Amino acid sequence: ASLYIPKGHSKQEKEILQPDQIKRLLQPSDLWYAPLFHFLVITGMRPGEALGLQVDDIKGDRVFIRRSVNAKGLITEGKNENARRMIPLGSLAMGILRNTIRRNEELNLHTKWIFCDIHGDQGSQSTMRNHWLKLKEERGLSGSIYSLRHTFISMTKSVLPEQTIKDIVGHSVSMD
């Protein structure tokens, strides 16, 4: 019997940001998607899930992940059956959401999207990626946008039970 690894999956070590990089990441920035990057590193969400968040997905201190925006700009139900989920948010994550919604309102964008584009329309992965590359260069950061998810998982491994982390990030019981 041989082991089959689906396309896009890798057995390599996941890249994570180091503490000094996280501090540099979380510093204020004028880049439109900087709040999204801050949100990703403290929630472990997939980038497309954060782009898919709408104001109505927030209920108290919880966010309901109901959709994802893929690289082609299409709205999907998410990567797998575990992707649609509810996650509790701490005060830092809630603050990022509130500040981003307030920014959008102050700019009169009249949008349902939290991490919208500069016109209030659904955000795009390509623009998000371009902003990441710029921030990465400016701040001396490593990795991809997805590294923010891996960083969250790495940071929480010592303080949360494995199953809780899997529930938060939308992994199945059997997934590493």
Helix 146-156 × helix 162-169 angle, to 10°? 160
Q: At a CB cut-off of 8 Å and minimum separation 6, what does 134 contact? A: 31
DSSP string, 28-65: ---STTHHHHHHHHHH---HHHHHT-BGGGEETTEEEE
Mean pLDDT of 123-130: 96
Give yes or no for residue 155 having a pLDDT over 50. yes
Share of the chain above pLDDT 90, in %: 63
CA distance 39 to 41: 6
Cβ 157 vs Cβ 165: under 8 Å: yes
Cα gap 162→150, rounded to integer Å: 14
Mean confidence (pLDDT) of the chain: 85
Q: Averaged over 145-173, what is the pLDDT?
A: 69
Q: What's the mean pLDDT in 100-126?
A: 97
Q: How confident is the model at residue 77 (pLDDT cuts 50, 70, 90)?
A: confident
Higher pLDDT, 12 or 99: 99
d(CA 99, CA 125): 21
| pLDDT tier at 153, thresholds 50, 70, 90 | confident
Please report which confidence band the pLDDT of residue 82 belongs to, taking 50, 70 and 90 as the band edges.
low
Out of 5-9, 22-26, 51-55, 81-85, which region has the weakest mean confidence (pLDDT)? 5-9
145 alpha carbon, distance to own chain's centre: 8
Give, for 91, the enclosing helix (H) or strand (E). Answer: helix 91-106
Q: How confident is the model at residue 111 (pLDDT cuts 50, 70, 90)?
A: very high
Compare 171 and 4 and report the one with higher pLDDT: 171
Q: Which pLDDT band holds residue 1 (cuts at 50, 70, 90)?
A: very low
Contacts of 94 (CB under 8 A, 6+ apart): 61
Q: Which residues of 56-66 are buried (b: 16+ CB within 10 A; e: fewer)?
A: ebbeeeebebb
